Chain A
């Protein structure tokens, strides 16, 4: 089956710790994205990557970092500098050169206490 996987589904961390969220796709898409979703709100773009070894900041990149070493993978690190890290994190991918439909993963719910 082709698609996007995110793991884990639920993640708990103590304040001050960095945490890395996984995102893998086997759709052969060049472009990948990370969004954050807070209760009762829409999606806000954290980082995006149009091609391997290249990525750009989205609207709320502060406190986050990413890497894109492989086409299939786009991990997101939530650093201790992120002031309000508790949220639902969604990864997506699409054909590049768009705009085109973005395919979303199932999401990771991060809780930091």
Chain B
């Protein structure tokens, strides 16, 4: 059933600091991971993705690290700015079992989210 009054993990940083947002994923068979940023009242925006055959990927000011041994994903934001304040979600893609045939059907499972607050 649904839970009411959940408290999201929060991270508060000063402008200019580096931020690290962590995510533990659920399934060792997950083959694709993605980070989204969501501002209040808006739809999620893509930040960066990574496939399971990689352990690091860099974008503009962002880096995603994947540790498959402990099923851990992290998002690093360099020189955090007030405009980075938002809720950040990780998501994993769990592929269909081999005996089901076909390839992944692209169904993402989302984490609960982390609130990032950047203070000027």
What string of 1s and 0s marks CB contacts (under 8 Å) between A83-106 and chain B? Answer: 010000010101011111111111
Indicate whether A43 sits within 8 Å of B31 (C-beta atoms), given known contacts A98-B104, A99-B106. Answer: no
List residues of chain B with CB under 8 Å of any chain A CB: 2-3, 5-8, 31-32, 34, 36, 41-46, 49, 89, 91, 93, 95, 103-113
B43 adjacent to A98 (CB under 8 Å): no
For the complex, give the distance between the alpha carbons of A20 and B31 in Å: 34
Given the known interface contacts A90-B43, A106-B43, the answer about A43 and B105 at a Cβ–Cβ threshold of 8 Å is no
Q: How many residues of A contact B (CB 8 A)?
A: 32
Of the residues A38, A43, A45, A97, contact of B44 by C-beta under 8 Å: A43
Q: Contact string, A7-22, partner B, CB cutoff 8 A, digits 1/0?
A: 0000000000000000
Residues of B within 8 A of A44 (CB): 110
**Is B43 touching A105 in the complex (CB atoms < 8 A)?**
yes
- Partner of A107 from B3, B6, B42, B105 at Cβ < 8 Å: B42
A50 touches B105 (CB 8 A): yes
- The complex places the Cα of A109 from the Cα of B40 at a distance, in Å, of 12
Interface centre among A35, A90, A104, A109 (most CB of B within 10 A): A104
In the complex the two chains form, is A40's CB within 8 Å of B5's CB?
yes
B48 → chain A closest CB, angstroms: 10
Among B8, B91, B110, find the residue whose CB has the most chain A CB atoms closer than 10 A: B110
Q: Is A58 an interface residue (CB 8 A)?
A: yes
A102 near B43 with CB under 8 A, answer no
